[in-house]
Structures are given as C-alpha cells and as structure tokens.
Amino acid sequence: MNIFKVKELKNDFIISTIVSIIFFIIIYYFNLHFIFHNIYDSLEVIITISITITGFLITSLTILLVFPENSRIKFIKNHKGYKYIFYAFILSIMLYIVVSIISFILKILIFFRSYYFLFLLIVIFIWAIVSLFRCIWLLKKMIDIL
C-alpha cells in the first residue's frame, strides 16, 4: 500500500510538516522554550488522547467495512475513490499508534530529553490531527451521499 499515490494524503503530510516547521520557528524566534517543557509534562495526556482516537478510528473503519448493502452503499463501493477512504483511515490509525509509542518512549526516557524526538512527535501529531480531519471530512461526504 503506497499511501503517497493519493494526492490528498501527500498534501496532508506536506501541510503538517510546514505547520510544524512554522511552529518551531515561532518557538525559537520568540524564545518560547517553555512550550517544550509543557509538552514533556503533557505526554501522558497525549498518550491517552492518541489511544482513544485510535479506538474511535478503528471502530469507524469497522463500521464502514460491515455497512449494510443497499443501493447507496453499492454506489459508494463502486466509486473509484472508495479505496481512498480506507487509506485515510488506516493512515490515521497508524499515525496515532506511532504518536502513542513515541510519547510512551519519551515518558520512559524522562532524563533523555531530546528535541529531535520531540520535533518528530510534534510533526507526527500534527499530521495525525490533519489526517483525523480528513477522515471526518470523508465521513461527512459519505453521509451527504447517503
């Protein structure tokens, strides 16, 4: 599965990377280093939120897979963008799992505070949030069709 063949998912990655870089430039330019410490202090919350959203996304994906068959659902399943829906959901699930794992590792290695890992966490977390909005947008479009 090559997710970057889908233009929107590639754009989500690019947008989230640019937003993250702007976020870090603002932090360094205005000397707001306390934000990094606040993020380190909030790792437990990030883990909890990521795991909870992962559960909701898995539930949503499962509901989409076992949707009852009717004419509108058949229309959606025959559409060329049907695979895109699953790519978006699977990508979001994977991103939130990675955010949870990185947050857990940073929480365990409390004495090893690396800004590189924190930057990676922030980039992936912003990417996951953008991806979550993409999934919500897709669900809204599906409801509009139904």
Per-residue pLDDT tens over the stretch 47-67 = 999 999 999 999 988 888 787
Question: In which region does residue 113 sit, left (phi positive, over 0), alpha (psi from -120 to 50) or beta (all else)?
Answer: beta
CA-based nearest residue to 88, from 19, 16, 139, 125: 139
pLDDT digits (tens, 9 = 90+) for 76-88: 777 777 788 888 8
- What pTM did the predictor assign? 0.81
Instruction: Tell me how crowded residue 86 is: count the other CB atoms within 10 A of its CB.
Output: 14
- Residue 3 scores a pLDDT above 80: no
Read off the pLDDT of residues 101-116 as tens digits, 9 standing for 90 and up: 999 998 888 777 777 7
Other beta carbons within 10 angstroms of residue 89's beta carbon come to: 23
